[in-house]
Structure 1
């Protein structure tokens, strides 16, 4: 059976209304991946108004619920790369992705603009996959 719905849980980690108009990093909510074997981050762009802005991506993980022990995720624990998840001003209304397969319980995503002086509309969702218990609830808890 080709059922994905009952085997994932989406978590809104950067609300779609999050717009930044300077170079302040946008830090996601912390993802608790307890009970799941993988996390995929989906980054969404809306209108990116500044004509020379770039946006880099960082994935961090740790064992503390508040990520006070946060460390950058080593490349070998990512599916895809942070560089491929990044984007520029030319990427209006696009989606990017990067996956995490490490063993830490908590993760977060940071999007850092450079050269951004206008409204940049961003959003992100974490897709928790490979659940220990399926089917997952719908709507997600």
Structure 2
């Protein structure tokens, strides 16, 4: 049966909003998950907004570091485009992860993200 619904859990990773500066997403606790992917969705870009996205991880949910390239699979370009979705897969071993929106120039971008987790215990209630 094609039942993905019962086998995934979703949590907000970056509240959808017009972002005019770099922004850190919400902390995603990976305890009890065997895998996680983040889906970033973009909307309008104003004045040649030059925004990118990266993943950060943490052992304690307080001290964050950029995830090394070997632990991320992504189809996101260096500069995000409007009206697109991008996937970022985390392959690290830390307990917490988050999306970080970066800004290199321009005015703003509409963006949001969700984390899709594969829980160890299925089906998901």
Q: Same fold (TM over 0.5)?
A: yes
Distance (Å, rounded) in 2 between the aligned partners of 1:57 and 1:74: 13
Runs of 4+ in 1 over 4 A off after TM superposition: none
- What whole-Å deviation, never above 9, does each CA across 1:83-105 have from its counterpart, x for those lacking one? x35434xx221101110022111
> Structure 1 stretches of 5 or more lacking a match?
none
Secondary structure at the aligned position of 1:55 is classed as strand
Secondary structure at the aligned position of 2:110 is classed as strand
2:72 to 52, 56, 78: 78
**Aligned-residue offset at 1:79:** 2.1
Count of paired positions: 125
Kindly indicate whether the alpha-carbon contact (under 8 Å) linking 1:85 and 1:97 is maintained by their aligned counterparts in 2.
Answer: no
Distance (Å, rounded) in 1 between the aligned partners of 2:18 and 2:41: 12
1:101 to 87, 91, 107: 91
1:128 to 107, 110, 117: 117
Partner of 1:60: 56
1:32 to 29, 32, 39: 29
Kindly indicate whether the alpha-carbon contact (under 8 Å) linking 1:57 and 1:112 is maintained by their aligned counterparts in 2.
Answer: yes
Which protein has the bigger strand share? 2
Q: TM-score, normalised by structure 1?
A: 0.80
Secondary structure at the aligned position of 1:76 is classed as helix
- What whole-Å deviation, never above 9, does each CA across 1:11-70 have from its counterpart, x for those lacking one? 112112x2123xx2111000001111111111111111223x221222111210x332x2
Secondary structure at the aligned position of 1:6 is classed as helix
Kindly indicate whether the alpha-carbon contact (under 8 Å) linking 2:51 and 2:109 is maintained by their aligned counterparts in 1.
Answer: no
Distance (Å, rounded) in 1 between the aligned partners of 2:103 and 2:29: 25
Kindly indicate whether the alpha-carbon contact (under 8 Å) linking 2:28 and 2:96 is maintained by their aligned counterparts in 1.
Answer: yes
Kindly indicate whether the alpha-carbon contact (under 8 Å) linking 1:67 and 1:106 is maintained by their aligned counterparts in 2.
Answer: no
